[in-house]
């Protein structure tokens, strides 16, 4: 996903698919084809805090394996988003 559907410079998905999959097809919340649109990137989310967050501009992938006490929490997610913002800032 991070390299536009390429692995070892070979196409894994059809050209343009990653851009379409990570485009906003549903606006509330912003969502593509199983990819949630976040500031500067997109991510796959599981429950209890499992995420794969990708930021193409920084060429950054962040995998978080969590065990939140609940399936979803706005409060815990806000902390996670602050963490992602700090990681992105550290790459510059």
How do residues 32-90 score in pLDDT, each as one tens digit? 888 999 999 999 999 999 999 999 999 999 999 999 999 999 999 999 999 999 999 99
| pTM, full prediction | 0.88
> What phi, psi does 36 have (nearest 5°)?
-85, 135
Give tens-digit pLDDT for 16-33. 999 999 999 999 888 888
Q: Which residues are within 8 A (CB) of 65 and not within 5 positions of it... i.e. 6 or more apart?
A: 50
What's the CA gap between 24 and 87, in Å, rounded? 24
């Amino acid at each position: 996903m991070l390299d536009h559907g390429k692995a070892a410079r070979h196409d894994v998905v059809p050209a343009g698919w990653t851009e379409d999959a990570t485009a906003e097809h549903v606006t509330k919340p912003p969502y593509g084809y199983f990819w949630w649109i976040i500031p500067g990137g997109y991510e796959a989310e599981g429950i209890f805090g499992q995420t794969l967050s990708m930021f193409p501009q920084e060429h950054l992938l962040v995998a978080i394996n969590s065990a939140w006490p609940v399936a979803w929490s706005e409060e815990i997610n806000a902390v996670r988003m602050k963490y992602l913002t700090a990681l992105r800032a550290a790459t510059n």
